Amino acid sequence: MSGSPRSVRDRDVLLLMALVVAVVLIANVLSAVIPGMDNVIAHVPVLLVLLVASTCGVLFWSVRRRR
């Protein structure tokens, strides 16, 4: 079952989850290193912005992939 469409989707989901975790960890390290970034993160709805941006990105990618 190595070539089935389900395994491809599972792999895509795992890669996307790994990317999200990596972005969060990088943001955490950057906020610790760069002075003042903690204040920016505290005052901007970062989670909402990231969720909207990632949703738009996934939708755009899925629409382009079907063509």
CB neighbours of residue 39 within 10 Å? 10
The number of C-alpha atoms within 13 Å of 49 and in the hemisphere containing its C-beta is 6
More confident residue, 65 or 5: 65
In terms of pTM, does the model score above 0.75?
Answer: no
Q: Which amino acid is at 4?
A: S
How far is Cα 37 from Cα 27, in angstroms, rounded to an integer?
10
pLDDT digits (tens, 9 = 90+) for 4-53: 666 667 788 888 888 888 988 888 888 888 888 878 777 778 777 888 88
Q: Which amino acid is at 61?
A: W
| Nearest of 19, 29, 4 to residue 54 by alpha carbon | 19
